[in-house]
Structure 1
Amino acid sequence: MPIFEFKCLDCDKYVEILVMNKQEEMELACSNCGSGKLERILSTTNHTMTGGGSGQPTDSNTSSQTRTCSSGSCTTYTIPGPA
């Protein structure tokens, strides 16, 4: 049962919504202002993919690619699971 995070486009508050059954239709509304104008946001995670201080993923199913981008250095991680 995942918890999804949304940002309300009317009051700019962040809302977490527990989804019990993803096949079941549910009405999404901001718990602060009641608006239905929500934008799903990417949640942060506490999963660590590095080990031993090397900064590189230790799982053979993970990989990383670091490159230069407009904001400095960007890293993309490929992890196991559905795409």
Structure 2
Amino acid sequence: MPIYEFRCTGCGQIQEFLLTRSSEQMEMVCRQCGGDEMERVMSQVNYAMGESASSSAAAAGPSATTRSCGPGNSCTTIELPGHTR
């Protein structure tokens, strides 16, 4: 079931709500201030693909390596966790 994040327009508190088709019309109330005006915010995604993806690699985050690509030039390689070439 999808969990969505909403921000209270009154106090700015971000909260999660579990929504199903039957609860789409449910009244969402801020647990901090009691306000009932909420706006949906874009949530971060936890996504890994491929067989080489592991929870430790996903938790490590992206890394960047800078190397020399010629006189006076440098190149940067960005490694994304869970992605193989």
Number of matched pairs: 52
**What is residue 33 of structure 1 aligned with on the other side?**
33
**What is residue 4 of structure 1 aligned with on the other side?**
4
Deviation at 1:48, TM superposition (A): 3.0
CA distance, structure 2, for counterparts of residue 4 and residue 51 of structure 1: 27
Deviation at 1:9, TM superposition (A): 0.8
CA distance, structure 2, for counterparts of residue 41 and residue 22 of structure 1: 19
Which of structures 1 and 2 has the bigger CA Rg?
A: 2
**What is residue 51 of structure 1 aligned with on the other side?**
83
Greater length-normalized contact order (CA 8 Å, ≥ 6 residues apart): 2
As a proportion of its length, which structure holds more helix?
A: 2
CA RMSD in angstroms comes to 1.6
> Kindly, what percent of the aligned residue pairs are identical?
37
Give the residue type in structure 2 aligned to 1:51: H
TM-score (norm 1): 0.54
**What is residue 13 of structure 2 aligned with on the other side?**
13
TM-score (norm 2): 0.53
Is 1:22 aligned with 2:54? no
Secondary structure at the counterpart of residue 23 of structure 1? helix
CA distance, structure 2, for counterparts of residue 23 and residue 17 of structure 1: 13
User: Once superposed, which parts of structure 1, at least 4 consecutive aligned residues long, lie more than 3 Å away?
Assistant: none
Query: Is there any run of 5+ residues in structure 1 with no aligned partner, and where?
Result: 55-83
